Structure 1
Amino acid sequence: MGMFAKKIGWLVAGLLLPFCSLAQELRCEVTVNSEQVQATDRQVFQQMQNAISELMNNTRWTGDVYQNEERIRCKMFITLRAMPQIGVYEANTQIISSRPTYGTGYETTVLSFVDTKFEFEYNPAQPLQYAPNTFTTNLTAILSFYAYTIIGMDNDSFARLGGANALAEASNILNLVTSSGTAATGWSATADTRNRYWLINNLQDPQFEPFRSALYLYHRQGLDLMGQDPEKARQNILEALRNVQQVARIRPGAAALRSFFEAKATEVSAAFASATPEQKQQAYDLLTQVDPTNRAKYETILRR
């Protein structure tokens, strides 16, 4: 049995598992918004949405064994900005993945990332198919990159550095694109660190190991314990935030850090609503130092 059949045993009653069919890794909801694009044949946008959904949901991305209930919930909101020529698109996309927390109906966001360099060609007559170690199209490369990034970060939330293999695949895709000579944007180091290059660069950088360890501490040893031992859970969340702080001192404003706080600012504030005054002050001091952009949200910790 693969990692995922083990990691989430507490989510599905053991007696039900033998009756569940094996499934792909992702349960991805795809939305393509084409309101800003002029086109005579608008059916192509529905075809695009269906093709992207099929690639994300019907591809076996890893060799791990998943049950249907274990599939990673994620969403892709693709907003087409322009069509410079027929079949060529410029878009923004937001990628969100989540996972359930133990003993609750609550789902926590693991990855939230906005990609403003989502540029690609799409031909309805050309199926989207992922081929390992092969560059086919920029669209397929982008989608597979995010599939592996989602899987890798989800794995990291269940086991310390558990997403290493999937993140290595995402990095390999970036290398395939850059070595192909394709001039597509978003795959190279730029002053704007909000792109695919910097996201996977962060997650693969040894300096970011404390951040990836924090994903495990925060989720598996923090949120998942909140119903059983909230005091211990909050201590572990504080420890996770100290790990993030350690990385932020070296790489302030890094893409992975900004993505983390965009996903967690409101949630982590709520986690300390019933904390001791000492814990509240510790959380507030740490969060406002590392993530001053969301200071207003963190101020609610002290007011509760």
Structure 2
Amino acid sequence: MRKFFLVVFLVCTVVSYSQELSCIVTVNSQKVGQTNKQIFATLETALNEFMNSKKWTNKTFKPKERIKCNMQIIVDSYSDNSFSGSIQVQSSRPVFNSSYTTPILNINDKQFSFTYQEFEPLYYNSNRFESNLTSVLAFYAYVILGVDADSFKMRGGTMYYNEAKKIVNIAQSSNFLGWKQNDGDRTRYMLIDNLTSNFYREYRTVLYNYHLKGLDRMESKPEAAKKTIASSLQLFKSMNARRPNSYLLQTFFDSKTDEIVQLFTGGPEMNTTQLTNSLNQLMPTYKTYWRKIEY
């Protein structure tokens, strides 16, 4: 009996050390005039279990290494087990030698619909389309993993983006929006197409330089770190010249705008004229934010 409990303990320990994501999923049903809200609570519980219990890779993650992320599903309509709305996906990563956690991904997917019957088990098959609900969540799980890996190693997220692209290719046989090229310019298809395209190569280079060579050095060499971050942002100019206001550029600044302003209005002083001019060109919709950069 003692040996049995030891085996169980070891198995549980391995499982707890293998999960990659620490994900909080919330289901917002305020827009739905539904008297019985239990199905939304049941769905929320099932989604949290799905995201946090599934092993997405063959790598081992210690609890402190799990990637913190959030998914908020806003339900606009619900009828006969059919849901329609949007999903907001956010993730962050720790900064070396600091208690600070930096936002790294912020996406609002407005083409999200699915079917779900209360208490039904959630399945994901990497080789077959089972449901739009699990396919969308799996897609963003791999995007989260890819973006996080890119911030630690140059082009480190390629294997995860390939998994996300595989999901897109399989899901195109379904009738759900967001998976096909002609579904719009802010879709899952467009996101993974851009992430894996050499046409937008600067995005992944910026992720690496900004985080590993920039933020991770803020504690030890703040002045050099700020200069590295500023120079990395300049790389976006070439990408923006080829494709102004691209999806990836918007995605980056949706997550980083507040942080950039804070970084360059404190700490070691540096000339930010060139930086602010570039930021105004790259993302003019955030001009009111760029004006807050004081130095």
Is the shorter-chain TM-score for this pair beyond 0.5, marking a shared fold? yes
Alpha-carbon distance between aligned partners in 2 of 1:72 and 1:196, rounded to the nearest angstrom: 21
Alpha-carbon distance between aligned partners in 1 of 2:243 and 2:117, rounded to the nearest angstrom: 40
Alpha-carbon distance between aligned partners in 1 of 2:16 and 2:56, rounded to the nearest angstrom: 17
Alpha-carbon distance between aligned partners in 2 of 1:130 and 1:171, rounded to the nearest angstrom: 15
Asked whether 1:87 is paired with 2:99, we answer no
Q: Which moved more, 1:268-277 or 1:60-69?
A: 268-277
Work out whether residues 111 and 260 of structure 1, in 8 Å CA contact, stay in contact via their aligned partners in 2: yes
Match of 2:174 in 1: 182
Work out whether residues 261 and 289 of structure 2, in 8 Å CA contact, stay in contact via their aligned partners in 1: yes
Candidates 201, 214, 229, aligned match of 1:209? 201
TM-score (normalizing by structure 1): 0.88
Aligned length: 282
TM-superposition CA deviations, 1:28-65 (whole Å, max 9, x none): 00110112123353211111101111111111001111
CA gap of 1:20–1:48, structure 2 versus 1, over 3 A, is: closer
TM-superposition CA deviations, 1:260-295 (whole Å, max 9, x none): 0011111112212245442x1121111111111111
Asked whether 1:162 is paired with 2:126, we answer no
Asked whether 1:294 is paired with 2:289, we answer no
TM-score (normalizing by structure 2): 0.91
Candidates 133, 146, 151, aligned match of 2:145? 151
Asked whether 1:22 is paired with 2:14, we answer no
Task: Describe the SS at the equivalent of 1:158.
Answer: coil
What RMSD over aligned residues (CA atoms) do the two structures have, in Å?
Answer: 1.8
Match of 1:41 in 2: 36
Once the two structures are aligned, what percentage of the paired residues are identical? Answer: 35
TM-superposition CA deviations, 1:157-204 (whole Å, max 9, x none): 1101100000110010000001xx311011122474122111111101
Asked whether 1:267 is paired with 2:262, we answer no
Asked whether 1:281 is paired with 2:276, we answer no
Match of 2:72 in 1: 77
TM-superposition CA deviations, 1:221-271 (whole Å, max 9, x none): 111111111121112112221222221111212211101001111111221
Task: Describe the SS at the equivalent of 1:78.
Answer: strand
Work out whether residues 55 and 130 of structure 1, in 8 Å CA contact, stay in contact via their aligned partners in 2: no
Alpha-carbon distance between aligned partners in 2 of 1:190 and 1:293, rounded to the nearest angstrom: 26
- By how many angstroms is 1:21 displaced? 4.9
Work out whether residues 105 and 255 of structure 2, in 8 Å CA contact, stay in contact via their aligned partners in 1: yes
Alpha-carbon distance between aligned partners in 1 of 2:231 and 2:183, rounded to the nearest angstrom: 31
Alpha-carbon distance between aligned partners in 2 of 1:209 and 1:264, rounded to the nearest angstrom: 18
Match of 1:223 in 2: 215
| Structure 1, unpaired ranges of 5+ | 1-17
Alpha-carbon distance between aligned partners in 1 of 2:166 and 2:183, rounded to the nearest angstrom: 22
Q: Which moved more, 1:68-77 or 1:248-257?
A: 248-257
CA gap of 1:20–1:103, structure 2 versus 1, over 3 A, is: farther
Alpha-carbon distance between aligned partners in 2 of 1:184 and 1:297, rounded to the nearest angstrom: 37
Alpha-carbon distance between aligned partners in 1 of 2:141 and 2:15, rounded to the nearest angstrom: 23
Match runs of 1:52-67 below 5 Å? 52-67=47-62
| Structure 2, unpaired ranges of 5+ | 1-12
Work out whether residues 142 and 161 of structure 2, in 8 Å CA contact, stay in contact via their aligned partners in 1: yes
TM-superposition CA deviations, 1:15-36 (whole Å, max 9, x none): xxx9995130000001101121
Task: Describe the SS at the equivalent of 1:174.
Answer: helix
